Amino acid sequence: MFDLNLINNPGLQKFNKKEDKLENNKKNKAKDYKEKKMKNKNSIFFKKFFIIIFFAVTVLSLAILIFRHNFIIDSNSINTYNLSLSKVLNVIDQNQKKINLNLINLYENELSIDFKCNDLDTFYNLLDLISVEINDKVKGFNIQNNHILNIRIPWKIKRKSNFNIDFLDGELNDLKMGFKQEIYKDKLIIVSDLSKIINFIKVLIDINLIHNFKIEIKQIESLPDGLNIFQVVVE
C-alpha cells in the first residue's frame, strides 16, 4: 500500500508557480497600462490646459494692444480736431466784419461751421487760409452771388458724468465771461456777440470739456440789422 501525494507533487507545484507568475504578469501589465493611460490622460489634459492658457493670454495681450493703439489714435484725433477748431475760430474772429456766420454745431459725429463771405476776395482768401489748417474739410460754393464756406470736421462727444450743465454754468459764472446765461430745461442758454462766443468755445477746449456737450450756435435773426448777436444752446 502506498499513498499518492498529489498535493506535494513537484510537477503540479511548478505548474502552479507558472500560473501565478503569468497571473502576476497580467496584473502588472494591466497596472502598467492603467498608469500609462492615466499619464497620457494627464499629459493630454495639461497640454490642453496649457494651450487654453496660452490662447487666453495671447488674446488678452492682443486686445490690450488693440485698445491701447485705438486709445492713442483716438486721443491724437481728438487733439487734432481741437487744434483744427481753434485755428478756424481764430480765422473767423479776425474776419468778423467780412463774413456773416450762419452756424457752428458740435454734434455726435461732426463739427459743422457755415458762413457767407461779403465779397469774392474774402471768399478765396479765407478758403485758402482755412484749407492750410484743415485741408479738404472746407468746401466753397459760389451760388447766385453768395460766397459760402462750409466746414465739416469729424467730431466725438464723450460725456463725463461729473461735468454736467450745472457744473458748466457755475464755472462760467466764476470766470465772468461777460455774457448772458441761464439754464432752461436742462440746457444752458448763452446770448452774446461772436467774440465772446468764440472765447467761450476756446475756454471749453482749454479745460478739456469741449467734447462733453452738444453745442449749437446760430445768429439771432429777429434783431435789427447790424446787431450780430448769437444764441448758444449747450446740452
pLDDT for the residue numbered 145: 86
**pLDDT tens per residue, range 63-78:** 665 555 444 444 445 5
Rounded Cα distance between 94 and 62, Å, is 48
List, for residues 125-171, the tens digit of each pLDDT value: 999 999 888 888 899 998 888 999 999 988 888 887 788 999 999 98
Sign (positive/negative) of CA torsion 69, 75, 81, 87? negative
Query: Whole-number mean pLDDT of the chain?
Result: 79
**Over the range 133-166, which residues count as b (16 or more CB within 10 Å of their CB) and which as e?**
bbeebbebeeeeeebbbebebebeeeeeeeeeee
Cα-based distances in Å from 114 to 99, 137, 141, 193 = 10, 12, 11, 17
- Number of Cβ atoms within 10 Å of the Cβ of 197: 23
pLDDT at residue 84 in the model: 77
197 neighbors 190 (Cβ within 8 angstroms): yes
Domain ranges of the chain: 10-156, 158-235
Look up residue 77 and give its amino acid. Answer: S
- Supply the pTM of this predicted model: 0.65
> Does domain 158-235 sit in CATH 1.10.20?
no
pLDDT of residue 134: 84
- Describe the strand order of the beta sheet including 229-234 as a list of residue ranges: 138-143, 146-154, 110-117, 99-106, 215-219, 229-234, 187-193, 180-184
Calpha distance 232→93 (Å, rounded): 16
| Cβ-proximal residues to 172 (8 Å cutoff; 6+ apart), any chain | 181, 190, 200, 203
